[in-house]
Structure 1
Amino acid sequence: MLKIAYDPIYAHPLPEGHRFPMLKYELIPGQLLHEGTITEDNLFSPQPVNEADILRTHEAEYWGALKTLTLPPPAQRRIGFPLTADLVDRELRITQGTIDACRFSMVYGIAFNVAGGTHHAGSNWGEGFCLLNDQAIAANHLLHTGQAGQVLIIDLDVHQGNGTAEIFTHEPRVFTFSMHGDKNFPFRKERSDLDLPLADGTGDDVYLELLGRHLPMLFDQVQPDFVFYLAGADVLATDKLGKLALSREACRERDRMVLQACLDRGVPVQVSMGGGYSEDIRHIVEAHCNTYRLAVQLFG
């Protein structure tokens, strides 16, 4: 059974000016339920993540400032909105949702978090609307508990997973792969184990050829026993921040390539949704929903 982490808090409460892109966290499960792709049984609501898991990934001083709401104003500006207790609680639940989804993916092959993909959060900073790095925390949880020995993180958001790259700089058991816009945020990049920077305007053919060439090599080289996939919808040509030129069909094929590679090799995969900032929110929701539809088709 496909399991999906979702809680209404994912879409609330965010400051004015940030609510439009967050509507997708309500609309994605709503659309999937409406069309019959999933039922309520597919959804689960996570609890807040525990502090021990956070501290395996983030520095104690940074986490302490987050939980006590004492992060300095410049650090809050780097995150992109004022720090509140509700926002911290939201991030704690998103992060636990990714950890829980890992457990479900080991049973069913794949599991999702409607939110997550907070890949700009580094070991001691938040950035780009990311406070805690959900997939990094989950990867360290799997390594710590012995549930995985070699992890591959496939980050196909349009923005480089700079926080994830920094966190795992000296961790050979986690291989970080980021395929992203070269001239896009963050403007100071970290070094992933493999970065594929893309020129502005990169379209379907070039994108899919690059991904298709590198995915098999990655699996052969890394030999992962667990995969994290960040499936950002901000690669679309309609995205106002993305600067790439992918069609919705190519975005769907991108997802198919990643999910099929995991399925063919019998490697469980956890999927977080990442960014999406098209003017018409229907474009964002449809691109994300395609990822869930593919999972149902491929994994049953």
Structure 2
Amino acid sequence: MLKYELLPEQLLREGTVTEASFFTSVPPPAAEILRTHTADYYYRLQHGQLTRQEERVTGFPWSEALFIREITILGGTIECARRALQQGIAFNVAGGTHHAFADHGEGFCLLNDQAAAANYLLTHEPSIQKVLIIDLDVHQGNGTAAIFQHEPRVFTFSVHGTRNYPHRKEHSDLDLALPDGTGDDAYLALLGATLPRLLDEVAPDFIFYLAGVDVLATDKLGYLALSRDGCRQRDQFVLELCQRQQVPVVVCMGGGYSERLVDIIEAHANTFRVAAHLW
């Protein structure tokens, strides 16, 4: 998508970040991916052996370039996790592939980057015993919920539109499904009443935040009605909580499908601007 090229350009042009702020992600060893995905699925994905039906469910025709793209995005989120442990926060300009299950892909998601990065931390970082995934994309993180349904060290929290894809929802540890047309006031009030308590109860050592901007009223695929400023306030609230409680956080950008590209870029850029101010 064009936004992945334009967003870094915008952030550089306005001075929110510098060239030194960026790193180039590389694919991780297959062993790291196999902590999250089944060997059969990964092998067939790698070698272009998905069935036509599996390709239709993902929304992508298979290509080697697509496979490399997916493992590179996943590697970027793992590297972000390493950097966030040192710096407090790190961003993947892409990522947030929360519809990918352990054994199949769905909804333009083939490999689940935040799930793989969470498993990486739980395996390699003794200080990380509890992970909280905050998924505020307009779509429920069904793949993430399913992957961690029997993993008590990972708490999955999803706020999404009731009628949005996927039609068959999985069970996160906490799901908040919102009616069509939910706007700034109701959304922010619900988040404000829920997230501080959740952080106290879960006491995470690390947070992954999926900051989808498909919650905007202008979004073609979403049914919520946040303004661009309401979306910014959402990000500020989440990131201020992370900073206040000194919990490292990785932010992935997730979805955004407004008609006007400027609405998508500006909403995503606001997430970076908030973080640049706080850190």
Q: TM-score, normalised by structure 1?
A: 0.92
**1:294 lines up with 2:267 in the alignment:** no
* Deviation for aligned residue 1:72: 0.6
Query: Paired residues, what number?
Result: 278
RMSD across aligned positions (CA): 0.6
* Equivalent in 110, 119, 128 of residue 140 of structure 1: 119
* Equivalent in 201, 224, 235 of residue 244 of structure 1: 224
* Deviation for aligned residue 1:217: 1.1
Deviation string 1:206-263 (CA, Å, 9 cap, x unpaired) is: 1000000001111011000000000001000000101110000000000001000100
Question: What does 1:1-300 correspond to in 2, within 5 Å?
Answer: 22-147=1-126, 148-299=128-279
Equivalent AA in structure 2 for residue 253 of structure 1: Q
* Deviation for aligned residue 1:193: 0.1
Deviation string 1:51-101 (CA, Å, 9 cap, x unpaired) is: 101110011111111001101110010000101110010011100100101
Looking at structure 2, the residues matched to 107 and 275 of structure 1 have their Cα atoms a distance apart, in angstroms, of 27
Structure 2: gaps (5+ residues): none
Equivalent AA in structure 1 for residue 55 of structure 2: Q
SS in 2 for 1:267: coil
Looking at structure 2, the residues matched to 193 and 122 of structure 1 have their Cα atoms a distance apart, in angstroms, of 16
* Deviation for aligned residue 1:146: 2.6
Looking at structure 2, the residues matched to 178 and 232 of structure 1 have their Cα atoms a distance apart, in angstroms, of 11
Q: Which residue of 2 aligns with 1:6?
A: none
Looking at structure 2, the residues matched to 281 and 87 of structure 1 have their Cα atoms a distance apart, in angstroms, of 23
Once superposed, which parts of structure 1, at least 4 consecutive aligned residues long, lie more than 4 Å away? none
Looking at structure 2, the residues matched to 182 and 62 of structure 1 have their Cα atoms a distance apart, in angstroms, of 30
The percent identity for this pair of structures is 62
Equivalent AA in structure 2 for residue 292 of structure 1: F
Deviation string 1:169-225 (CA, Å, 9 cap, x unpaired) is: 000000000000011100111000000000011111110000000011110110000
Looking at structure 1, the residues matched to 81 and 125 of structure 2 have their Cα atoms a distance apart, in angstroms, of 13
Looking at structure 2, the residues matched to 285 and 49 of structure 1 have their Cα atoms a distance apart, in angstroms, of 28
Deviation string 1:6-62 (CA, Å, 9 cap, x unpaired) is: xxxxxxxxxxxxxxxx11000110000011111110011011121101110011111
Looking at structure 1, the residues matched to 33 and 45 of structure 2 have their Cα atoms a distance apart, in angstroms, of 11
Looking at structure 2, the residues matched to 25 and 153 of structure 1 have their Cα atoms a distance apart, in angstroms, of 23
Equivalent AA in structure 2 for residue 279 of structure 1: E
SS in 2 for 1:180: strand
SS in 2 for 1:152: strand
SS in 1 for 2:156: strand
SS in 1 for 2:226: coil
Looking at structure 2, the residues matched to 264 and 113 of structure 1 have their Cα atoms a distance apart, in angstroms, of 22
Looking at structure 2, the residues matched to 214 and 236 of structure 1 have their Cα atoms a distance apart, in angstroms, of 21
Looking at structure 1, the residues matched to 16 and 237 of structure 2 have their Cα atoms a distance apart, in angstroms, of 20
